[in-house]
Structure formats: structure tokens, C-alpha cells
Structure 1
Amino acid sequence: MMRGMGNMQSMMKQMKKMQAQMTAEQEALNAQQFEGVAPDEMVKVTFTGDKQMQDITIDPKAVDPDDVDMLQDLVLAAVNDALTKVDAQTKSTMGKYTQGLK
């Protein structure tokens, strides 16, 4: 009976260690910067790993009062590019902890 308790304590210790590693890796991921760019680099955005926009740069050539739709499309393209990169890195970094879980 006592032997089983030792295994349980060992397993709990390993789980706590894994949880600490997950937290550390998530914090490191959140601190990373991801740049998204629109075609022709007319719009650039920077996000953190936790999907907070930090910066946006718009090339003055992209600002045409007669074609606001183009600027909106460029911003969307840059934001989606950055978020795709965040998701890919998150899956790459954190996926090892969620493999096999439903």
C-alpha cells in the first residue's frame, strides 16, 4: 500500500514540473514579437505571442482617400499574417503538451 503512495507522489511531482515548464514556455511565447506584412509591405503590424497588437506601420502610398477599401484589405492581410505566425509558433511550442489530449 505504501509503495503506491510513492508512485503517486512521484507522478504528482512530475506533473508539477511539466506544468512549470508549460507556464515558462507560454510566458516566453507571449513575450515574442511576430510581424505580419501585407502585399508589397504597404502595411506591417507587430503582435506579441498572446495576440496583443504592439505596432502598426502604414506606408503613405497605401493611403488613398478614394480607395479606403484597399487600405482596409492591406491591414486585414497584415493582421491575419501575424496571427497565423503566432498560431503556428504556439502549436509548435505548446503542441507537445496537448498531443493525445482531446
Structure 2
Amino acid sequence: MLKGLGALGGLGDMAKMMKAATEMQTKITELQAELARTVVMGEAGAGLVKARATAKGEVTGLDIDPSILVASEKEVVEDLILAAIHDAQAKAKTRTDEEMARLAESMGVPPGVKLPF
């Protein structure tokens, strides 16, 4: 008889794995698009400087309270701007990590396994 017939069953498993991989890639692509539209806010100086960024970490805007725009405070303002940007980027990373973990869990990926991003 045909010894290789049992091996053909493995092709069905491979097809299932390929379908699952394609579905996962589609969901990751959709999540990436959603993260690009999601806005997070970072701030510094008790809200005197705010930075907007996408959840993917792209800074899209700044809001600076005019009261700190004094020439003698230039370095302080620069530091606050950087701090607000870093805060926004940290929040973006946290949001992305949370969303990717949620997606992985919904797809049955074991905890701790990072999805490609």
C-alpha cells in the first residue's frame, strides 16, 4: 500500500497553519492602522507642555502654555518639550504593547510571545 498516505494528512495541518498565519497577519495590519490613528498625550511641567503622538510613537503636535515662553527660560522650555515628547512616546509604547498583547491573547498565542510588529 501507499506508505506516504499518512503524510498527506500533514498537508491539511499545514493549510490550517497557513490560514491562521494569514489571519494573524491581517489582524496585525489592521491593528497597526488603528494604532496609527490612536492619539496619546504626554505632558510635562504639570501640563504646561503637552505633546500629541500616535500610539505608534509619531509626534503629531505640541501645546505650550504661553506663560512659559520667556526668553530667559529657553532651556527650561526646551527641557519641558523633550520631557513631554518622551512621555507621549512612553504612553504610545505602553498602548501598543497592551493592544498587541490583547490581540495575541485573542488568537491563542501564549503569554510573553511577541507578535511581529
TM-score calculated relative to the size of structure 2: 0.78
Match of 1:99 in 2: 112
Q: Work out whether 1:80 is the aligned partner of 2:83.
A: no
2:56–2:96 contact (8 Å) kept in structure 1: no
Q: Aligned partners of 1:87, 1:50: CA distance in 2, in Å?
A: 7
Q: Aligned partners of 1:7, 1:16: CA distance in 2, in Å?
A: 14
2:56–2:93 contact (8 Å) kept in structure 1: no
Indicate the SS of the match to 1:44: strand
How far is the alpha carbon of 1:99 from its aligned partner? 3.0
Q: Aligned partners of 1:28, 1:86: CA distance in 2, in Å?
A: 12
1:31–1:49 contact (8 Å) kept in structure 2: yes
Residue correspondences, number = 101
Q: Aligned partners of 1:14, 1:58: CA distance in 2, in Å?
A: 47
1:54 alignment partner AA: T
Q: Which runs of 5+ in 2 are unaligned?
A: 1-6
Tell me which of 71, 74, 94 is aligned to 2:77. 71
2:112 alignment partner AA: Q
Tell me which of 40, 46, 51 is aligned to 2:46. 40
Q: How far does the alpha carbon of each residue in 1:8-62 deviate from its partner, in whole angstroms, 9 at most, with x for none?
A: 1111101111111111111111110011111221111111122222211111111
- The structure number with the bigger radius of gyration is 2
User: Which structure has greater helix proportion?
Assistant: 1
The alignment-based identity, stated in percent, is 29
> 1 or 2 for the larger relative contact order (CA 8 Å, sep ≥6)?
1
2:57–2:93 contact (8 Å) kept in structure 1: no
